[in-house]
Structure 1
Amino acid sequence: MASKRKYSPLWNHFDEVVPSKKAKCGYCSRILSVSSSSIGSLSRHMKAVHPTIQINSSRQTATVATTARVSDSDMDNVQVPSCSTQADTATTELLVTHRQETGQQVPTMADYVQTKKCLPRIRIQQLDEQLVRMIAKGYHALRMVDEVEFRKFVEMLNPGYTLPTRKTLSQSILPRVYNKVLEKVKEQIKKAAAICITTDAWTSSVQDGYVAITAHFIDIESHKLCTVMIGCVEFNERHTSLNLKNFLEAKFSEWNINQYVNVIVSDNAANILSAVRLGGWRSLSCYAHTINLVVQSSMDAISDTMRRVKDIIEYFHRSAPAKKKFAEIQEQMHIAPLKLKQDVVTRWNSTYDSLQRVLKVKEALIATLAIMRPDISLSQEDWQTIEKATELLKPFTRSLLRSVVKRMFPHQNILCFPKL
């Protein structure tokens, strides 16, 4: 392979993997097989994956031609010598004549202006990794790198950078970035003196089971509360206490934190509480979930009124004419148009939010129902019940906002510190 490497400019863009007779692409890190007599795979790879990079045997840095146009203002900034010597003119004429005689294309001014240097490998790697971070943190689909207009946009921003394909992104760059972040987080969590775990299991709308595990600990250097998700995986086994216990043990062993787990916080489901006890860990029920259970239990006393409120909300959600009339009446009353909110049992504060919204649009709601559906209108007694219920639920809402929205969980701080 040495002779090929000596004479082929393709090796400017690949690193030889010894002794396996393979080559690693300097741009996307893909491993390709080569033989001692042929390096055609390298050429095909460059044409298919990095078509804008030109092969140049005279230097390591390749060049890439772009379609950028030179504006009149740019041309005005080009510095041209005010005079030239006869020797310069003669030399230029000689070069042009030689190129014409040999059939070589005579370069124009635009050729020199439009030619851009390819970015160094380290810079391409940095851009690739930042692309992955943008996709991950923005919850974008990997297919965005295949979108024509997005590729044009990136090329206009930096003609020297070629977007990786979706396959390269998923099989090479994404795993590389993930492993970097994984090692960094493992180093950070390894220094923790005590760890609090929060976990939850659920089933998606398409009946796929999932389990998430999050670790909370005090960083020993900055003394700040850190939160790291150490697992969010598909879990299609039965959600029995034994299966959940085995899953937790396996995940803790993977992160080598079994001995540092101080407490596990979960909802009040019997299977997860039993799983924590089986594993010998300390268990603590989620504060917000417990508060929500108290609220939902208290609603039984006013179930008739709540049922009538839900019927009204569902009616407006299903009926487009009713929804339109409701918005028109709010506008006539000089009220900012508001929609009714549905009460969802598993969503914290949704009962309070739903009743509060009904009270806020009370006059418009009464007027609309009188026209569209007088048979489901609320009685005066119902309105009094809603007002009292909203007043009673308000302290619970404030308590949940302090613990959930601000993310200040007292049990994490208290239970992590004793072992520091």
Structure 2
Amino acid sequence: MIRHFTAKHGAAVNQGNIHVDRKRELDGALVNMVVKDSQPFSIVDDCGFKELVALLDPRYTLPSRRVLKEMVVKRYEEEKTKAKAVMQRVEAVSLTADMWNSINMDAYLAVTCHYVDDSAKLATVLLGVLPFPEAHTAVNITAAMRSLMEEWGTEGKVTSIVTDAGANMVASVRSLNLRHALCFDHSLNVVVKKSLDATPGLQDLRTRPRKVVTFFKTSTTAKEKLREVQEQMNRPVLKLIQEVDTRWNSTYLMLQRLFKERQSVGAALAMLKTDVRPLSSEDYETADACLQLLSPFFQATVELSEEKRVS
């Protein structure tokens, strides 16, 4: 392809050395793409990507994986230095801290700093996402958070810290001698989830939709049939959403999507050889009533999850 382009458009292709400013610009754009789109460093070895870059600017030579990694690390250090300089000027901050597990069940502690910038707007800086293989004790959490605060120079500036109601988090904040605010969003999630779990009439309503969604999620034939039916009905092609046990709002989203796609789901199931039963009209009436009841809680959850506005 490159040889053809050169042969046909040789006058337009400059195989000479690229200007240093242009190379710096393209290097920066490459780093931005890798960081913003979570691309692997190996993208610079992909044939299609190489061809695209060569057509865009034949003078530019892609860096190796190793060099690209060094460029990303350098950019990280530069941005971190800038963020630290901002932290030095800020007089008061608040923190949010959360323990979570990756899809591979690796544990992490994330600590975010919140403050008001020079333009009187809310701003945030992620102080760190720390691998946390050790025991999730208050002592270990306290040591990790204290280390981050020292590194970023926020000691003495923290007005409050928001965490969930876990005993280890509560004890850790107490050890740091900081004002503690429980995450209302987390508390709301716990209350609604316990209410859903304690309502016998909703158990069957949640179980059967899960089976329907699982069927369409795990069967390629079913997934394709649903897509065909949606297109035939001139409806947007939307995937079903599965419930996650730890998040009640996933129950809301599962029922909401299933209710919205009830006609296409019912038609698709009727065309497929399966023992999975579609929901009845009575089931959908109950689901609709449940959605109306949960809607205010869902909207509150969304609003409380805001990062750029006071919640």
**How many residues are matched?**
303
Query: Residues 310, 168 of structure 1: CA spacing in aligned structure 2 closer, same or farther, 3 A cutoff?
Result: closer
What TM-score, normalized by structure 2, do the two folds share? 0.82
Query: Residues 152, 315 of structure 1: CA spacing in aligned structure 2 closer, same or farther, 3 A cutoff?
Result: closer
| Residue 95 (structure 2) pairs with residue 197 (structure 1) | yes
Give deviations 1:288-344, integer Å, cap 9, x for gaps: 222222221221212232223323332343445555565566667665554432111
- Find the partner of 1:281 among 160, 178, 182: 178
With CA pairs under 8 Å and 6+ residues apart, which has the higher RCO, 1 or 2? 2
Q: Is the 8 A contact 1:192 1:217 kept in 2?
A: yes
CA distance in 2, matches of 1:409, 1:158: 42
Q: Is the 8 A contact 1:403 1:409 kept in 2?
A: no
| Residue 304 (structure 2) pairs with residue 407 (structure 1) | no
Shift of residue 140, structure 1, vs aligned partner:
1.2
Query: Residues 247, 153 of structure 1: CA spacing in aligned structure 2 closer, same or farther, 3 A cutoff?
Result: same
CA distance in 2, matches of 1:331, 1:126: 43
Shift of residue 131, structure 1, vs aligned partner:
2.5
| Residue 143 (structure 2) pairs with residue 246 (structure 1) | yes
CA distance in 2, matches of 1:254, 1:279: 15
2:77 maps to what in 1? Answer: 179
Shift of residue 149, structure 1, vs aligned partner:
4.4
What TM-score, normalized by structure 1, do the two folds share? 0.62
Shift of residue 280, structure 1, vs aligned partner:
1.3
More deviation, 161-170/368-377: 368-377
Q: Is the 8 A contact 1:330 1:336 kept in 2?
A: yes
Q: Is the 8 A contact 1:116 1:159 kept in 2?
A: no
- Find the partner of 1:136 among 35, 46, 58: 35
SS at match of 1:410: coil
Q: Is the 8 A contact 1:313 1:342 kept in 2?
A: yes
| Residue 202 (structure 2) pairs with residue 305 (structure 1) | no
2:255 maps to what in 1? Answer: 355
1:235 maps to what in 2? Answer: 132
Structure 1 residues 61-80: aligned runs within 5 Å: 68=6, 71=9
Consecutive unaligned residues in structure 2, runs of 5 or more: none
SS at match of 1:233: strand
More deviation, 143-152/197-206: 143-152
1:215 maps to what in 2? Answer: 113
**Percent of aligned positions that are identical:** 34
RMSD: 3.2
1:164 maps to what in 2? Answer: 63
SS at match of 1:217: strand
SS at match of 2:76: helix
CA distance in 2, matches of 1:192, 1:258: 12
